[in-house]
């Protein structure tokens, strides 16, 4: 350990030096960016500030567990493996980044196929101190006598599996297995589906893949960021430390219920409503709902004093606006201008004056200034927000009967009902159909006909200049991939005098942000409409899709990957399978496998890698007082997760199956297994890493009773 400690000390000295230099550069660049000078000079300084801040954040994030491995090769070459790469003053490598090609044998070499590796060593550290070593001799014949005598420790994977859980997912960067490495290093393009049963490490593999892709394709991905979508906020808290610990900070974590700006919800709908809202037919329902707000009065328009437009002209104006194939709010302007022109012509004719170019310029604007004209035209094609459209759709029985007769009963709800997770894809779809409001619609004048003042024109010109400077700076510095939004953000920094915001912060606040890569965990739970919402955020279709079809709980979720993905990504997705369960001990997995045969007969359970010593136990609760029964259980060693049916969970302070998805605990208590659907029971049983207890008042399901 003395030799490894000396090398670790050397690595931390170089890390400290690099980190101090990065922070100094960042501070100096930010100070310079705030100073005066031309737009171009300030934007160039801002680019340097952003890059320095990113580098400093990455170096800060790898402090813990900087070096965790070592490879000894047959020719005597030694490589140390860690969370980032470090070199000495002569640019000789002191530490290989775990994602570098030269580090891959650390994860793929086996005694059967060692390649050039003779020994793999795992370093255990606490802070900056080496606390233990584990050696794996992959080629004993390749080790000399001193090397054989130096072998120490046990298999690092078994040690990692035996550790107590902390309530936070840790990185597996030191113990990645070969099938997980295949997932992690899978190429960037297209959608990769990672199908794996409980405990196979699919979430860890997906997160490490995100870190690997950011390392390998940093220029393409870092400025676009990576979006990680998880099933619950509890799950996101559980995994939130993994990517920063790998040195990656340009990551946005969201649930589906958080993908629409200013909406955060974890509420879910009843099964029938969830199915109705989640089906692909909702795209047509929403289109019909928008069209229902685009009307042409059957009697035409007659405001008196010669201000008349025939019913036929109104219908032609409406059809022409629809023919633009533009979003509703943009087409509204065309429709209203056409009607105003028709009214202005009618007015001119009634007054016996020619409708010349000057009249055409001023008359429609003067008409729109009249309250009676606005009151007559505005309702024909109103400016709409996504919230207004979806709220009316779901609360207006007559509208639902018109646009969604088959699903009206399931969709109808009382006005003022809170938003649900299933509403978010509807809001997102509505935003696409409606488009942005005109700026004057946002301020309440409800139209886009105000005359631009000279001040506004000047401001617009200045904005264009700043944007052009920003675009030029990014071009010069080689940062132009999808850089228009970045340019706007840089220009906005000086208009708003706003502080530096990371890519993750900017992306998280922008519904239309195009990410570089998206990870979808527990993806089997997403509805067809939710997939549309996700895919809008990744136009390149570069995704890591993680899930287990045997654990699908949502009635609107996936029954096969092809059924869910082929409509959106035909021929553009591929599948990898993880088959080894590293979490669940063999006795517990045998019980879960018996349940799986009922829950999903066509699905194969993963093979458990852990023998386990504690058999699952069933504890009858004759009086049904589960709170008292929980209190009487022996105090467990390690973390405890209590999982109960939805109706019992709140009173017991327990987790529902939905809230427990993706999580793991040293000890798990499942309350009233017979009240859980078979797939939910399978999920609940496979959260345990050590002990499993079943509290039951009702008889146990036959598959459990027969396997205990």
Task: Note the pLDDT tens digit of each residue in 409-435.
Answer: 999 999 999 999 999 999 999 999 999
Averaged pLDDT, 576-589 = 91
- Mean pLDDT is lowest, of 5-14, 184-193, 481-490, 588-597, for 481-490
**Is pLDDT above 80 for 36?**
no
Nearest to 505 by CA among 495, 493, 521, 522: 493
- Whole-number pLDDT of residue 625: 96
> What CA–CA distance (Å, rounded) separates 466 from 235?
41
Q: Does the pLDDT of residue 26 top 70, yes or no?
A: yes
pLDDT(479) > 90: no
Structure confidence at residue 240 (pLDDT): 85
Please give the CATH topology (third level) of the domain spanning 586-706: Rossmann fold (3.40.50)
| Annotated binding-site residue? 661 | no
Q: 94-108, 153-167, 394-408 — which one is most confidently predicted on average?
A: 394-408
pLDDT digits (tens, 9 = 90+) for 185-215: 998 889 999 999 999 989 989 998 998 998 8
Written as six digits, the tokens of 230 are: 């998880």
* Residue of 347 and 445 predicted with greater confidence: 347
How does pLDDT run across 637-670, given as a tens digit for each residue?
A: 899 999 999 999 999 999 999 999 989 999 999 9
Which is more confidently placed, 465 or 184?
Answer: 184
pLDDT bucket at 445, cuts 50 / 70 / 90: very low
Tens digit of pLDDT for each residue in 108-146? Answer: 887 777 888 888 888 888 899 998 888 877 775 655 555
pLDDT at 498: 45
What is the rounded CA–CA span in Å between residue 527 and residue 279? 7
Whether the pLDDT of residue 90 is over 70: the answer is yes
Q: Would the CATH topology of 178-260+511-581 be identical to that of 586-706? A: yes
In the block, residue with structure tokens 């633009």: 324
171 a known binding residue?
no
Q: Kindly report the average pLDDT of the chain as a whole number.
A: 84
Alpha helix (H) residue ranges in 246-356: 271-278, 282-291, 311-323, 328-351
Q: What is the mean pLDDT of residues 314-321?
A: 96
Cβ pair 425, 385 in contact under 8 A: no
Q: Which segments of 39-173 does DSSP mark as H helices, in order?
A: 39-61, 105-108, 145-149, 156-162
Average pLDDT over residues 297-302: 94
Q: Are 171 and 210 in contact (CB under 8 A)?
A: no
Task: Tell whether the model's pLDDT for residue 517 goes beyond 90.
Answer: yes
How large is the average pLDDT for residues 273-292?
Answer: 97
Domain boundaries, the chain: 1-163, 178-260+511-581, 278-443, 448-503, 586-706
Rama region for 515: left / alpha / beta (φ>0; ψ in -120 to 50; rest): beta
pTM metric for this prediction: 0.78
Please determine, for residue 343, whether its predicted confidence score (pLDDT) is greater than 90. yes
- Tell me the C-alpha distance between 667 and 614, whole Å: 11
Q: How much is the pLDDT for 65?
A: 85
DSSP state letters, 364-432: HHHHHTSHHHHHHHGGGS----HHHHHHHHHH-HHHHHHH-TTTHHHH---TTPPP-TTHHHHHHHHHH
Is the pLDDT higher at 373 or at 140? 373
> What mean pLDDT do residues 212-227 have?
85
Where is pLDDT greater, at 545 or 363? Answer: 545
Q: What is the pLDDT of residue 163?
A: 60
Checking if the pLDDT of 446 tops 70, the result is no
- The verdict on whether residue 579 carries a ligand-binding annotation is no
The Cα 356–Cα 352 span in angstroms is 12
Provide the pLDDT for residue 544.
96
What gap in Å lies between CA 153 and CA 293, rounded to an integer?
72
Which residue(s) pair with 69 in the sheet?
81, 122
**pLDDT score, position 483:** 35
Was 202 annotated as part of a binding site? yes
Percent of the chain with pLDDT over 70: 83
More confident call, 252 vs 483: 252
Instruction: For tokens 């931390």, name the residue.
Output: 12
Could you tell me the CA-to-CA distances from 94 to 2, 14, 89, 118, 706 in Å, in that order?
17, 9, 10, 20, 57
> Hey, which residues does 191 pair with through a beta bridge?
543, 573
Mean pLDDT for the stretch of residues 580-595: 92
pLDDT (0 to 100) of residue 543: 95
pLDDT at 165: 64
pLDDT of 329 over the 60 cut:
yes
Average pLDDT of span 228-253 = 86
Question: pLDDT, tens digit, for every residue of 38-88?
Answer: 767 766 777 777 777 778 878 887 888 899 889 998 888 999 999 889 999
Neighbours of 502 (CB within 10 A): 17
203 marked ligand binding residue: yes
Q: What is the pLDDT of residues 231-241, one digit of tens each?
A: 999 999 888 88
**Sign of the C-alpha dihedral computed for residues 416, 417, 420 and 425 taken in this order:** negative
Provide the angle, in degrees to the nearest 10, between the axes of the packed helices 528-536 and 282-291.
Answer: 70
pLDDT at 399 over 60: yes
Position 35 pLDDT exceeds 60: no
The CA distance from 116 to 35, in Å, is 55
Q: What is the CATH number of domain 178-260+511-581?
A: 3.40.50.300
pLDDT exceeds 60 at position 689: yes
Helix (H, G, I), strand (E, B) or coil at 602: coil
| pLDDT at residue 453, as a whole number | 34
- Which stretches does DSSP call E strand in 250-408? 251-255, 301-302, 308-309
What's the rounded Cα separation, in Å, for the pair 213 and 519? 12
> Within 13 Å, how many C-alpha atoms sit on residue 446's CB side?
16
Given this model, what pLDDT does residue 456 score?
39
pLDDT of the residue at 170: 60
């Amino acid at each position: 350990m003395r030799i490894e400690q000396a090398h670790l000390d050397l690595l931390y000295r170089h890390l400290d030096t690099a980190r101090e230099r990065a922070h100094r550069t960042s501070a100096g660049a930010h100070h310079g960016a705030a100073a005066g000078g031309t737009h171009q000079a300030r934007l160039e300084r801002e680019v340097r500030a952003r890059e320095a801040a990113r580098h400093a954040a990455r170096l800060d994030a790898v402090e813990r567990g900087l070096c965790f491995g070592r490879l000894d090769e047959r020719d005597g070459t030694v490589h140390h493996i860690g969370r980032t790469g470090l070199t000495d003053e002569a640019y000789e490598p002191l530490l290989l980044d775990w994602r570098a090609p030269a580090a891959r044998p650390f994860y793929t070499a086996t005694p059967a196929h060692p390649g050039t590796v003779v020994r793999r060593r795992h370093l255990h550290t606490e802070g900056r101190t080496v606390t233990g070593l584990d050696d794996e001799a992959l080629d004993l014949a390749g080790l000399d006598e001193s090397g054989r005598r130096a072998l120490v420790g046990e298999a690092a994977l078994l040690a990692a599996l035996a550790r107590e859980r902390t309530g936070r997912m840790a990185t597996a960067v030191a113990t990645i297995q070969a099938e997980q490495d295949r997932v992690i290093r899978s190429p960037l393009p297209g959608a990769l589906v990672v199908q794996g049963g409980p405990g196979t490490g699919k979430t860890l593999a997906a997160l490490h893949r995100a870190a690997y892709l950011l390392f390998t394709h940093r220029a393409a991905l870092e400025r676009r960021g990576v979006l990680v979508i998880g099933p619950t906020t509890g799950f996101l808290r559980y995994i939130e430390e993994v990517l920063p610990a790998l040195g990656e900070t340009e990551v946005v974590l969201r649930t589906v219920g958080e993908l629409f700006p200013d909406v955060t919800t974890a509420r879910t709908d009843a099964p029938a409503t969830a199915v109705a809202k989640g089906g692909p037919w909702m795209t047509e329902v929403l289109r019909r709902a928008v069209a229902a707000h685009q009307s042409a009065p059957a009697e035409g328009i007659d405001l008196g004093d010669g201000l008349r437009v025939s019913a036929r002209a109104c219908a032609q104006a409406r059809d022409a606006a629809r023919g633009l194939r533009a979003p509703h709010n943009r087409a509204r302007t065309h429709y209203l201008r056409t009607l105003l022109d028709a009214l202005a012509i009618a007015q001119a004719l009634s007054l016996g004056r020619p409708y010349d170019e000057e009249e055409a310029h001023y008359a429609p604007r003067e008409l729109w200034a009249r309250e009676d004209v606005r009151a007559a035209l505005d309702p024909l094609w109103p400016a709409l927000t996504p919230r207004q459209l979806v709220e009316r759709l779901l609360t207006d029985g007559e509208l639902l009967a018109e646009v969604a007769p088959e699903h009206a009963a399931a969709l109808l709800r009382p006005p003022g009902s809170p938003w649900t997770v299933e509403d978010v894809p509807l809001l997102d779809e509505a935003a696409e159909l409606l488009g942005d409001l005109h700026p004057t619609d946002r301020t309440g004048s409800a139209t886009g006909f105000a005359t631009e003042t000279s001040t506004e024109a000047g401001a617009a010109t200045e904005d264009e200049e700043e944007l052009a400077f920003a675009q030029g700076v990014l071009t010069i510095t080689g940062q132009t991939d999808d850089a228009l939004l970045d340019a706007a953000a840089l220009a906005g920094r000086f208009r708003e005098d706003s502080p530096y915001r990371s890519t993750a912060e900017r992306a998280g606040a922008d519904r239309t942000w195009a990410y570089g890569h998206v990870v979808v965990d527990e993806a089997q739970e997403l509805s067809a409409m939710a997939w549309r919402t996700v895919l809008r955020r990744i136009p390149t279709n570069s995704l890591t899709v993680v899930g287990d079809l045997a654990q699908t709980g949502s009635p609107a979720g996936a029954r096969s990957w092809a059924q869910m993905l082929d409509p959106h990504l035909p021929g553009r997705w591929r599948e990898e399978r993880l088959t080894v369960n590293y979490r669940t001990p063999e006795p517990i997995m045998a019980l879960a496998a018996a349940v799986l045969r009922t829950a999903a007969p066509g699905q194969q359970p993963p093979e458990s890698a852990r023998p386990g010593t504690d058999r699952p136990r069933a504890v009858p609760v004759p009086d049904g007082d589960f709170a008292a029964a929980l209190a009487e259980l022996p105090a467990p060693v390690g973390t405890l997760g209590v999982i109960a049916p939805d109706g019992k969970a709140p009173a017991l302070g327990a987790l529902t199956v939905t809230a427990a998805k993706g999580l793991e605990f040293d000890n798990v208590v499942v309350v009233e297994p017979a009240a859980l659907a078979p797939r939910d029971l399978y999920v609940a049983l496979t959260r345990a890493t050590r002990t499993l207890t079943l509290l039951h008042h009702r008889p146990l399901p036959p598959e459990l009773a027969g396997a205990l």
